Structure formats: C-alpha cells, structure tokens
C-alpha cells in the first residue's frame, strides 16, 4: 500500500522490524497459539532490537521517540505475517499502559517502572473492565479505601489483555462513591503483591496467543506511592488516553486489511477455475475493486490522524471515526478474503482464516463501535 506518511528513517527502521519479525515471530506463530501465550523471550528480543518503549525519555533508558509513525511501522510489519496477538500485546504496552505512565507518573515512579518497558522486561496491563461493567466504566464496583499509608483494593476485573504475564497492572477503582465522575482513581499494582491473583486464561474466539485473563484483588494493600496521578482524576485520565488507544486499534485494523488484501490478490491471481484465473471473474473483480479503493481511501484518513496525533491535535471524535471506520472495513475485507479463498479460507493453516477470528474483537474493545457512533453522533449535534 503506497503511503506518503513515511520518510527515509522510517524505512530504515522498517528493515530492522522486518528482520525481527522474520526471525522471532514467523517461526513461533503456531507455538504461541498452542501455548496461548507469547513467551517472554520474544519480548526481550524485541527490546534488544529497539522496538519497545519508543516514547520513553532518555533519562529513563528509552530513545525518547515521539513520532508515532515508527509505531505504525511496527504494526504494519507484524500485520504482514498475521501476528495479531503480538500486535495487541505490544500496543497494550506502548499505546496504553506506557501512555498513562508517561502522562501521570511522578519522576520516582518513572524511574522505577519505565526502563523495563524499553528492555522488554516489564509487561503491563490496564484493568478497567469488570464482569458487569464494560463500555460504561462508571458502573465498576472495584473499590480502594484509604488506610494510613496504603489503599486497600477490593474487586475483580475481566478481559484483561496481558493479564497472565503482566508485571504491573494499572487498576481503575472507585475511591469516592459520592463524587460522581471525580470519584475514580488509578493505582499501580505490581506482580507479587499479597491479595493480587490471576484467574483463568480466558478462552477467546481469536487472538489465541494473546494472554487475556481475569484479575482479582482481595484486600490488596497498595502503598500511597503507587497512586497514579491525582486522586479523583482517574475517569478524566481515561478520557485523555482513549484517543491514542483508539487510533492504535484503527491502525491495527488498517494494516490488517492491507495485509489481507495482499494475500487475497496473490491467491486470486494464481488460483484457476473454468480455464482462467478466478480473479478475472467480474463478480469477484468488482468486489476487489471496491475494497481496494476503500482501503486506499481509509489509509489517507488514518495517515492524517497519525499526523494529528504527532502534532498533539488528534481529537477524541476523529480517533473514534478512525476506530469505527477502519475496524468495520477490516471486517469486510477479511470476510471477502475468506470467501475468495474458498474452502482454503476456512483452514487455519491459511493466514486469512486466522485473521478472520482475530479481527472480530476489534469492533468491541477500546469502546464498542456502537459507542464510537454515539460519540460521533453527539459531536454532530453540538451547537
């Protein structure tokens, strides 16, 4: 897919990312799906290759690279081989958990936690969703009560990406039930803290290699030094960080759609039926023409959003549009890809089949697409 988003430095970086993917990702895809876990050695190798924690400032061991285009390169190269679960894990670390720490952590907290995000030694998770509270986070029941120099955390979380491997978890909890949206705060819970436990590794439709889990907090004593940001500002912090999270999901959808278009075009150019290549049949050809056009137009919008993010001007509404459009398009492209592969499209040995089951969550997490429409709708009605 042609794009004018990238410059020479990004293409040099792409060579490094592609080398990592070919060496450490492609040979392990089947094993990761079987184990339902991505081994820590892969995270360490990615850190050694300089692929993690790009935005971590130099004083905390990182390169201090704020140009999000480098993250897009990583996402693109991972999508090229259909490693959606790895992409999800890396994005959770760099676009979500790390984003919260960079925005709201104190210098002491950054010194403690950020270096590991660069080396791959620290895997993070964000614990928001609960069994009875998904998109409406005001409905959470996890609480944190002050007790001297600690906060006592009680509750449970579910659908937590990297929940099994996580070394630290940012927990969204209610600290003042009477304060409305200002009654929520963020806490950092480290692995090994008494009372913090992990439940089962959830059996998902797709993203099998991505460790998604239930987390439990039973009288977990969190030192006051592990409060992230100001008390009562947790909900506001969520709102500030959602645009990047949703942009990341949109980019993941876009590069996945591009990869599947490439696989499908290769297939229909080679597969023959009734004496000619199946791509020459007009019914299939018109669908491919429509989808290719949509993918290219979509890329232009996503590129614009990346530039806006780099400038610090990406709005929550535009990020919602990116997430909504790109994930819906991803579904259409992959569905057509499966159909045009015929019976082989239903075989897990073909990457298009794996893409089919991995992609369905894209329209759900980060805020369902129905929530994205509501955000866009409300913006349209502003005076």
- List, in sequence order, every residue forming a beta bridge with 152; answer none if it has no partner: 145, 221
Mean predicted confidence (pLDDT) in 248-259: 97
Characterize 122-148 residue by residue with b for buried, 16 or more Cβ atoms within 10 angstroms of its Cβ, and e for exposed: bbbbbbbbbeebbeebeebebbbeeee
d(CA 77, CA 23): 12
d(CA 332, CA 334): 6
Q: What is the pLDDT of residue 140?
A: 87
d(CA 95, CA 106): 19
pLDDT digits (tens, 9 = 90+) for 52-102: 999 999 999 999 999 999 999 999 999 999 999 999 999 999 999 999 999
At 348, is the pLDDT very low, low, confident or very high (cuts 50, 70, 90)?
A: very high
Q: What is the pLDDT of residue 134?
A: 66
- Tell the residue number behind the tokens 């990297």, with chain if given: 162
Q: How many residues does the chain have?
A: 383
Q: Contact 185/201 with Cβ under 8 angstroms? A: no
- Tell the residue number behind the tokens 């959808």, with chain if given: 253
Indicate the average pLDDT of the chain: 95
Which entry of 65, 130, 245, 308 is annotated as an active-site residue? 245
**Spatial CB neighbours of 301, under 8 Å, sequence gap ≥ 6:** 321, 322, 325
Q: What is the pLDDT of residue 3?
A: 83
Token code pair at residue 29 = 């895809």
Q: Contact 46/123 with Cβ under 8 angstroms? A: no
Q: What is the pLDDT of residue 221?
A: 97
pLDDT digits (tens, 9 = 90+) for 4-52: 999 999 999 999 999 999 999 999 999 999 999 999 999 999 999 999 9
Confidence (pTM) = 0.94
At 139, is the pLDDT very low, low, confident or very high (cuts 50, 70, 90)?
A: confident
Q: What is the pLDDT of residue 207?
A: 95
At 335, is the pLDDT very low, low, confident or very high (cuts 50, 70, 90)?
A: very high
Q: What percent of the chain has pLDDT over 70?
A: 99
d(CA 150, CA 227): 9
Q: What is the pLDDT of residue 334?
A: 98
DSSP annotation of 315 reads -
Q: What is the pLDDT of residue 383?
A: 60
Mean predicted confidence (pLDDT) in 129-148: 85
pLDDT digits (tens, 9 = 90+) for 181-235: 899 999 999 999 999 999 989 999 999 999 999 999 999 999 999 999 999 999 9
Mean predicted confidence (pLDDT) in 323-352: 97
Q: What is the pLDDT of residue 32?
A: 96
Mean predicted confidence (pLDDT) in 354-379: 95
Burial class (CB in 10 A: 0-12, 13-18, 19+), 37: middle
* Residue 245 annotated in active site: yes
d(CA 105, CA 107): 7
Q: Contact 159/129 with Cβ under 8 angstroms? A: yes
């Amino acid at each position: 897919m042609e794009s004018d988003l990238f410059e020479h430095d990004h293409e040099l970086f792409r060579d490094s990312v592609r080398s990592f993917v070919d060496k450490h990702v492609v040979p392990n895809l089947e094993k990761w799906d079987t184990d339902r876990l991505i081994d820590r050695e892969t995270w360490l190798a990615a850190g050694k290759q300089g692929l993690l924690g790009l935005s971590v400032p130099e004083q905390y061991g990182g390169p201090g690279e704020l140009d999000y285009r480098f993250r897009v390169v990583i996402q693109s190269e991972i999508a090229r081989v259909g490693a959606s679960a790895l992409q999800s894990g890396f994005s959770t670390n760099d676009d979500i958990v790390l984003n919260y720490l960079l925005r709201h952590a104190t210098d002491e907290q950054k010194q403690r936690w950020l270096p590991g995000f660069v080396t791959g030694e620290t895997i993070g998770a964000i614990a928001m969703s609960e069994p009875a509270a998904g998109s409406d986070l005001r409905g959470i029941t996890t609480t944190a009560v002050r007790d001297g120099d600690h906060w006592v955390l009680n509750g449970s979380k579910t659908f937590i990406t990297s929940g099994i491997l996580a070394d630290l978890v940012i927990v969204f909890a209610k600290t003042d039930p009477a304060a409305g949206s200002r009654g929520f705060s963020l806490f950092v819970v480290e692995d090994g803290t008494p009372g913090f436990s992990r439940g089962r590794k959830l059996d998902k439709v797709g993203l099998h290699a991505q460790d998604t889990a239930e987390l439990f907090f039973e009288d977990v004593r969190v030192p006051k030094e592990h409060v992230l940001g100001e008390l009562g500002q947790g909900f506001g912090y969520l709102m500030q960080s959602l645009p990047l999270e949703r942009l990341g999901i949109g980019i993941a959808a876009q590069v996945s759609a591009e990869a599947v278009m490439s696989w499908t075009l290769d297939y229909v150019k080679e597969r023959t039926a009734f004496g000619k290549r199946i791509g020459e049949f007009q019914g299939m050809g018109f669908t491919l023409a429509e989808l290719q056009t949509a993918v290219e137009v979509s890329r232009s919008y996503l590129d614009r959003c990346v530039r806006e993010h780099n400038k610090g001007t990406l709005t929550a509404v535009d990020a919602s549009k990116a997430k909504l459009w790109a994930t819906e398009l991803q579904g259409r492209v992959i569905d057509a890809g499966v159909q045009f592969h015929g019976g082989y499209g239903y075989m897990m040995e073909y990457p298009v089949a794996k893409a089919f089951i991995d992609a369905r969550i894209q329209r759900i997490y980060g805020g369902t697409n129905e929530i994205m429409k509501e955000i866009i709708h409300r913006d349209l009605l502003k005076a």
